[in-house]
Amino acid sequence: MIMTNSLSSTLKLSAIGLSLLVVSGCAAQGGEQQSWMDKTDSDVAEARSMANEALGTANSAQRDAQAALKMARENRQAMDRMFQKSMQK
């Protein structure tokens, strides 16, 4: 009976110790996850900033391309007029 009590006490202490290890491991992992999430939030903010900058650059490039297309069309019309004049002579 003494051996049974000793074994029972050892098992109880082992279970308590194991529970403490699991709880402390979960707490440590929770802290790591929070740290990772904090980094993720700053990465998201940085990515959003870069995306906004890229959007501004793309909009500027589109305006430049539209202006160049307009100039090309105007030049073509002028060349067509010059060709028509030369054909009439």
Q: What is the DSSP string of 43-86?
A: HHHHHHHHHHHHHHHHHHHHHHHHHHHHHHHHHHHHHHHHHHHH
- Better-scored residue on pLDDT, 11 or 50: 50
Token pair listed for 18 = 């194991």
Query: Measured in whole angstroms, how far is the alpha carbon of residue 65 from the centre of its chain?
Result: 29
- Better-scored residue on pLDDT, 24 or 30: 24
Token pair listed for 61 = 């490039």
**Domains of the chain, residue spans:** 38-89
Token pair listed for 2 = 């003494």
Please give the single-letter amino acid code of residue 12.
K
Predicted model pTM: 0.49
Please write the tens of the pLDDT for every residue from 30-73. 555 566 666 677 888 888 899 999 999 999 999 999 999 999 99
Is residue 26 predicted with pLDDT exceeding 90?
A: no
